């Protein structure tokens, strides 16, 4: 039986090629060609979306007669609203929506699914509207989301 050579700490692979990723003419890193294309595309789209948000906020402030200083504050407010919540009922609502997508269920089907785990349609609506979660809802939520009760409590209360 042939002996297996242990892997060496340093290796060189002449078969893998990396391309430079640059920003405004400066090389910022190297990665595989397919990844570089996707990264550059995503970053360029993000820049365009940021400019579009600035313009939209500028138009809103101009129509309402506000000052140009309030454009930056409005942009910050919209970005804060668009970010994924880190804790509380808002995060639980996002997790429920993601679970619905994972299960490929319509709103009505998902409401029935939740009801089968003892989370009523009314309670589901309350969670989506941002009302506080009650402790008796933790067990049904853990079953619906496929997580432990401790995970749900951590998401609900945050990292205190």
Assess whether pLDDT exceeds 70 at residue 76: yes
CA-CA distance, 107 to 118, in Å (whole number)? 16
pLDDT in the model for residue 1 = 60
For residues 16-49, one letter each, b for 16 or more C-beta atoms within 10 angstroms of the residue's C-beta and e for the rest, the string is eeeeebeeeeeeeeeeeeeebeeeeeeeeeeeee
Task: Please give the C-alpha separations between residue 139 and each of 81, 83, 100, 122, in angstroms, as whole numbers.
Answer: 28, 27, 18, 17
CA-CA distance, 160 to 151, in Å (whole number)? 14
Read off the pLDDT of each residue in 62-70 and give the average, rounded to a whole number: 83
20-44 pLDDT, tens digit each: 999 999 999 888 888 888 999 999 9
Q: In which band, very low, low, confident or very high, does the pLDDT at 159 lie, cut at 50, 70 and 90?
A: low
pLDDT in the model for residue 68 = 76
77-133 pLDDT, tens digit each: 988 888 888 888 899 999 999 999 999 999 999 999 999 999 999 999 999 998 999
**Which DSSP string corresponds to the chain?**
-PPPPPPPSS---TT---EEEEETTEEEEEE-HHHHHHHHHHHHHHHHHHHHHHHHHHHHHHHHT--TTHHHHHHHHHHHHHSPP-SHHHHHHHHHHHHHHHHT--HHHHHHHHHHTT--HHHHHHHHTTPPPPGGGHHHHHHHHT--HHHHHHHHH---
Among residues of the chain, what percentage have pLDDT more than 90? 52
Q: What is the pTM of this model?
A: 0.60
Task: Give Cβ neighbours of residue 68 (< 8 Å, ≥ 6 apart).
Answer: 58, 61
Read off the pLDDT of each residue in 34-59 and give the average, rounded to a whole number: 91
What six digits make up the tokens of 65?
Answer: 């007669």
């Amino acid at each position: 039986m042939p002996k297996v050579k242990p892997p060496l700490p340093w290796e060189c692979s002449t078969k893998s090629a990396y391309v430079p990723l640059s920003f405004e003419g400066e090389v910022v890193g190297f990665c595989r060609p397919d990844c570089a294309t996707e990264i550059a595309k995503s970053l360029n789209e993000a820049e365009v979306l940021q400019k579009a948000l600035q313009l939209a906020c500028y138009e809103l402030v101009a129509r309402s007669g506000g000052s140009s200083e309030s454009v930056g504050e409005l942009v910050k407010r919209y970005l804060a609203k668009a970010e994924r919540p880190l804790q509380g009922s808002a995060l639980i609502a996002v997790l429920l929506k993601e679970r619905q997508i994972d299960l490929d269920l319509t709103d009505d089907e998902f409401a029935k699914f939740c009801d089968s785990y003892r989370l009523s349609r009314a309670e589901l609506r309350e969670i989506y509207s941002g009302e506080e979660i009650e402790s008796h809802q933790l067990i049904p939520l853990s079953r619906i989301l496929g997580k432990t009760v401790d995970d749900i409590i951590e998401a609900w209360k945050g990292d205190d």
